[in-house]
A and B are shown apart, each in its own frame.
Chain A
Amino acid sequence: MKIAFTINGQAQSVDIADGNTPLLWVVRDILHLKGTKYGCGKAACGACTLHVDGEAIRSCSYAVKFAAGKDVTTIEGLGTRENPHPVQQAWMEYVVPQCGYCQPGFIMATAALLEKNPNPTDEDIDNNIVNVCRCATYVRMRKAIHRAAELKQSTSPTTNQ
């Protein structure tokens, strides 16, 4: 079956036998966008988080057929080296990653949160950012999330998307 969608602003179409194939596998193995990570495969750790129509979803538990006609954003489409997304900028400022494997998922989850809640409290962060980091970078992440909220509010959305 052929499934067409937009990914990081580009129209894309994949021909795949099983429409239930996780979007994660399509993104990584067919479209070769390796920034989105496979962690648990059970929608538990959040390493595979990306955006579908602006909503954070666990792509290991999202059948590619559901992406038809939708707008998918991965970590590769969030910002650029020259013009990072406020969340990426804050992550760099606080040197958040340790091993780094889970960080794209956290960054995507945070970017989705800031779209819905531009100034999250610690409680909002606890409720919404439930990904898992085995290096336990949570303390730096919390600081970076607050910093990202500041950066996002001080910059024009058009320069970061």
Chain B
Amino acid sequence: MKSSRLLFILPPFLFATILLAANMNSTENPSDDPTSNTHPTESDENFDKMMAVLTHQRCINCHPSDNIPKQGEDSHPHYFGMARGAGNMGFEAINCNACHQSENNDYSGVPGAPEWSLAPESMKWEGLSRTEIAESMLDRARNGGRSPHEVLERLTEHALVLWAWAPGIGASGKPREAPPVPVDEYIEAVKAWFEAGAIIPAE
């Protein structure tokens, strides 16, 4: 008697359980729901690595939102009242190259790299979220008219960007902090992120 009752109860219960499990499965798998982004994809991991570098002070210090270059690990305003000035290079008689040359200077602790200057005003990244920085970076109106390929080249090949991993010593003689991702890993991640379509994840 009991077993015959179970025969009536179990099938609907099992069906409901299977439906529920299937439904849960579909929401957990981002590939089944393109709008879902609850779990990181490989592209997201590459994005994370890239942004860990681009939001580091070695990059952000020269992408100010207030036209004042920043310095140091604490990103304090550049000493001596330095500001963007004309051409992103400071003022007429005291421009970036009054102190910064194309190489680090270990005698004075002044950093240097080719094309040392502030990023253009359209590339203000300071204070932006990771996604806002990525959007800015891919927007031709703000990125200097660069195609995605040109942005990729800039991010992975330009000496001023790669300087971040060889930032020299500071005025106190201590080495400056490099970004948290090794340079090879960063380059690989940036290339992979662009190859995967440069998808900016939701945050």
Residues of A within 8 A of B (CB): 20-22, 41-44, 49, 55-58, 60-63, 66, 109, 112-113, 115-117, 124, 126-130
Contact = CB atoms under 8 A, between A and B. Distances in A.
B196 interface: no
Given A43-B98, A56-B98, 4 more contacts: A55-B97, A62-B105, A128-B94, A129-B93
B93 A20 contact: no
- The interface centre, meaning the residue of A55, A115, A129 with most chain B CB atoms within 10 A of its CB, is A55
A113 B106 CA distance: 28
Contacts of B108: 22, 41-43, 58, 60-61
A128 to B, nearest CB: 4
A112 B92 CA distance: 9
A61 B105 contact: yes
B107 A44 contact: no
B74 to A, nearest CB: 17
Contacts, number: 79
A44 B100 CA distance: 12
Interface in B146-175: 171
A40 B11 CA distance: 86
A61 B94 contact: no
A24 B95 CA distance: 19
B106 A20 contact: yes
Contacts of A129: 93-94
B30 interface: no
A43 B94 CA distance: 12
A62 B81 contact: no
Contact of B81 (A44, A57, A113, A127): A127
Nearest to B107: A22
A129 B92 CA distance: 10
A22 B79 CA distance: 22
27 contacts: A20-B105, A20-B106, A42-B108, A42-B110, A43-B98, A44-B79, A44-B80, A55-B98, A56-B93, A56-B94, A61-B105, A63-B101, A63-B103, A63-B105, A63-B107, A66-B102, A109-B93, A113-B92, A117-B92, A124-B91, A124-B92, A126-B81, A127-B81, A128-B91, A128-B92, A128-B93, A130-B82
